[in-house]
Structure 1
């Protein structure tokens, strides 16, 4: 992957905060629930769900990046945090494609061009996963 294929909001090294609702919206799910959402999303997309960032420490959040403005088209269930145009001044850490980006990493690779997670599919999977009992 060359730097020309990456969107300009992906840093060349390290990681940087980006204002949600401008270049992307983000739906965040914490811990094992986020990993479960990603697992089912990857199954539904033949392993290519779109850009997903994960936090390797703390709450271990998984950030699903969707097109800017698309988060407001859905009512997201409790347990899914929406970072988008409806909220003010919410930032998401975006890692570089390579190198030391701790505590963030690309779970499914950085986006190429205008690639995003499908918000309709994500909403279906998030709603199904977050409505399950915690032991499921």
Structure 2
């Protein structure tokens, strides 16, 4: 029996508040701004089995970036459309840190739009690419 929306806290998710994590180690990340990012995230959740789209973090302030967390090494395997920023991969010369919120408690200004689950520990890159292209 498969459990969806089960509590799943990988070791890179802090127990409280939020912490910065380096991309390319525990995950790669794709970043999409504001309303477009929300549309992409909504499509991923709608199309995901049981609504488990994988880890998506959003910012509550500023540009309201949406961060889609992919398996390490996955971001460089795809050609992302304009407006989609990529973080991670071995060919990156600089380090990029992404803020990761705890699963509960005060994590402002970050929050989970979609949490990682045992069935979706990462966002599926192919599904994300399709959603990003269709919202262009």
Q: How many residues align?
A: 127
Alpha-carbon separation, structure 1, partners of 2:127 and 2:101 = 24
Over 4 Å off, 4+ runs: none
Alpha-carbon separation, structure 1, partners of 2:19 and 2:33 = 20
- The residue that corresponds to 1:69 in the other structure is 73
Q: CA deviation at 1:108?
A: 1.2
- The residue that corresponds to 1:37 in the other structure is 40
Where structure 1 has 5 or more consecutive residues not aligned to the other structure, the ranges are 131-136
RMSD: 1.5
Where structure 2 has 5 or more consecutive residues not aligned to the other structure, the ranges are 1-5
- The residue that corresponds to 2:104 in the other structure is 98
Q: Scaled by the length of structure 2, what TM-score is found?
A: 0.87
Deviations 1:49-75 (A, max 9, x none): 111000000110001111000001101
